[in-house]
Structure 1
Amino acid sequence: MFILDIFSLPQKIDFSINSLMISLALGALLSWGLKIHYQRWGSSLSNRVAFSKVFVFITLTTTLIISIVKSSLALSLGLVGALSIVRFRTPVKEPEELAYLFMCIAVGLGLGANQWLATVVASCMIMAITTFSQRQKNDEQSLFLALDWKKSQEVYLNELQNVMSNLMIECDLRRFDSHGECEEVVYYVNIKDSEILLKFIDKLKMDFPNIGISFLDKTKIPGI
């Protein structure tokens, strides 16, 4: 009886192809801007250029789905059933990647609902706030630190962490590899100046002889 009552309600809402075209055009512009923003200001260790290529596709697809589904109650119920069996299985390695994906979906939802002004203004404000936050971080020196050693050297992560926490503004473990006789870790670190960097290298060499040390400046490496 309940099902019959649902489908007896008006199910068709006026659908405008012009509105859809406007939503898709705005979605293309906003997702392109989000793509450039992520490549420039993102701090993910993964390939940011390759990952950001899906932003336009996700945004426009979400816009299309919402634009179609909102015109029919039956389609809305069908979408709920479809989403109950769909799982997102692409590995998301870092929270930042997930945040940008949610941003793409949010833009698609807003544009699909024809909330053009609110979506454009909110998207621009979010990207501006994020840019300002990242610029403050870039006033410091942000680096990827790769350390490698042989297992026989007995280098312990806790001891490494203690050394870095005393000299670094920020220290975040991003990757740990163990293969054959070697182990390798990658940290994302922030330091105040080059003098602290040199002091840190000397400290590492003193406490962990024969350890391999590599620094990569994330702001000058294309593609990551």
Structure 2
Amino acid sequence: MFILDIFSLQQNIDFSLRSLTISLLLGTLLSLALKIHYQRFGMSLSNRVAFSKVFVFITLTTTLIISIVKSSIALSLGLVGALSIVRFRTPIKEPEELAYLFMCIAVGLGLGANQWLATIVATTIILIVTIRWKRSEDQSLFLSLDWEKSHNIDLDQLQNCLLKFICDCDLRRFDSRDEREEVIYYINIANSDNLLSLIQKLKTDFPQIGISFLDKTTIPGV
């Protein structure tokens, strides 16, 4: 009797291999678009390339799961039980990372439910809107530069170098100790490409200088 019930349950599952293939192909394209979008317009200063590698995997996995369980209540309940034992050990450092992960899951849910057109249209609109939003925002950072006194670095020359790559530069602190000097600037920078160019320029023009960046959002009360 139990075997007959299982056989009957399997017969009730409406699974289309053709629909799954289309969903996986669309999921691959959309997740790659999300990956490129995050690498190009993401505000994180590091780890964008490594972090975005999981987008395709998460999207396709979600698509597969939804495609399998959408037509079976029993499988849906089993999925809830299986997910209840899953624990993520790696913390999400920034809200932006969580937003992109949710986007990958949303794409997988839409494609797994065969809502292809709605998913494509919604994803396209979201990516376009966030491109315009991210382009309108500058990233505010604290830039710390230090060097040995014997190098006699000209602050005017240093600031002129900074202004070639950043939107705004404000000197917040200058320390002169026995053997070293340090300046801290509050800067606004348009994107990470400018930041990388600035670092390369500083290393070229002032090879003896030490460079540190600090996102102001990580400082309590700022």
What TM bracket, shorter-length normalisation? Answer: 0.5 to 0.7
Q: Which residue of 1 aligns with 2:192?
A: 218
Q: Which residue of 2 aligns with 1:30?
A: 30
Deviation at 1:45, TM superposition (A): 2.6
Q: Which residue of 1 aligns with 2:56?
A: 56
Q: Which moved more, 1:112-121 or 1:85-94?
A: 85-94
Q: Distance in 2 between the 1:67 and 1:195 partners?
A: 48
Larger Rg: 2
Name stretches of at least 5 consecutive residues in structure 1 with no aligned partner.
1-6, 150-190
CA contact 2:173–2:183 (8 Å) conserved in 1 = no
Q: Distance in 2 between the 1:47 and 1:10 partners?
A: 45
Match of 2:142 among 141, 145, 154: 145
- TM normalised by structure 2 equals 0.66
Q: 1:194 to 1:22 in 2, by over 3 A?
A: closer
Aligned counterparts, 1:151-190, within 5 A: none
CA contact 1:144–1:218 (8 Å) conserved in 2 = no
Q: Which residue of 2 aligns with 1:109?
A: 109
Q: Secondary structure at the match of 1:204?
A: strand
Q: Distance in 1 between the 2:32 and 2:91 partners?
A: 22
Deviation at 1:75, TM superposition (A): 0.9
Q: Distance in 2 between the 1:143 and 1:76 partners?
A: 45
Q: Which residue of 1 aligns with 2:14?
A: 14
Q: Distance in 2 between the 1:195 and 1:93 partners?
A: 26
- TM normalised by structure 1 equals 0.65
Q: Secondary structure at the match of 1:63?
A: helix
Q: Distance in 2 between the 1:145 and 1:55 partners?
A: 31
Q: Distance in 1 between the 2:90 and 2:21 partners?
A: 29
Q: Distance in 1 between the 2:104 and 2:55 partners?
A: 6
Q: Which residue of 2 aligns with 1:39?
A: 39
Name stretches of at least 5 consecutive residues in structure 2 with no aligned partner.
1-5, 147-162, 198-222
Q: 1:218 to 1:23 in 2, by over 3 A?
A: same
The percentage of aligned residue pairs carrying the same residue is 62
Q: Which residue of 1 aligns with 2:124?
A: 124
Letter in 2 for 1:147: S
Deviation at 1:148, TM superposition (A): 7.5
Deviation at 1:21, TM superposition (A): 0.4
Q: Distance in 2 between the 1:196 and 1:78 partners?
A: 55
